[in-house]
Amino acid sequence: MKVAFYLRVSTDQQETENQIAQLEQFAASRGWEIVKVYRENDTAWKAGHQKELSNALVDASNHKFDYLLAWAIDRLTRQGINSIFSIINTFEKYGVHVVSYQEKFLQDLDENFRPLYLALLGWIAKFESDRRSERIKAALERRRKLGKAVGRVKGAKDKTERKRTGYLLRYADRRPNKLPPPIG
């Protein structure tokens, strides 16, 4: 059986390397052949940001692997119950089984109980994300009330690529006979 890994971390202080060793051992113990590793360092909250997950779905539709092994279900999305079902059902439609290293018990559950646990895990992921967001907003508001700076230091250079430019460059090859407009 062929397996692909999906690794995702949310911040620059985290590394996907912390997940891969145990996933490799898990796959080896089942005799699965690792065919691809999808890695992202991005939030699972905003739609469209998980390019590697989209690539995994495309490869699943082309039957390049039988299993998608993730560190945990919340690595796929933190958008809640509907999103988790949508992602997992899409993989399963392509004949790919989604396996979670942290929630191994999902594989042994009766078919009737698995959706219940997936719904619970999806709800927990969203709840946890919402609570974290509330804590951050509260901390920022407290700083504002104390008269402390919030955000980037005044005068600091913004090195982030702007969305429009990035979009045009990224999708220029998909628009026949059209080049992206000059930058600047």
Cα angle 74-49-34, degrees, rounded to a multiple of 5: 60
**C-beta separation of 125 from 75 below 8 A:** no
Residue in this structure with the two tokens 């945990």, named with its chain if needed: 72
Query: If one looks up domain 2-125 in CATH, what number appears?
Result: 3.40.50.1390
Residue-level pLDDT, tens digit, the chain, 184 residues:
999 999 887 766 677 677 888 899 999 999 999 999 998 876 555 555 678 888 999 999 999 999 999 988 888 887 788 888 888 889 999 999 999 888 877 777 677 777 777 777 777 777 777 787 788 788 888 888 888 888 767 767 666 665 555 555 555 555 555 555 555 4
**C-beta separation of 90 from 57 below 8 A:** yes
pTM exceeding the 0.75 threshold for the entire prediction:
no
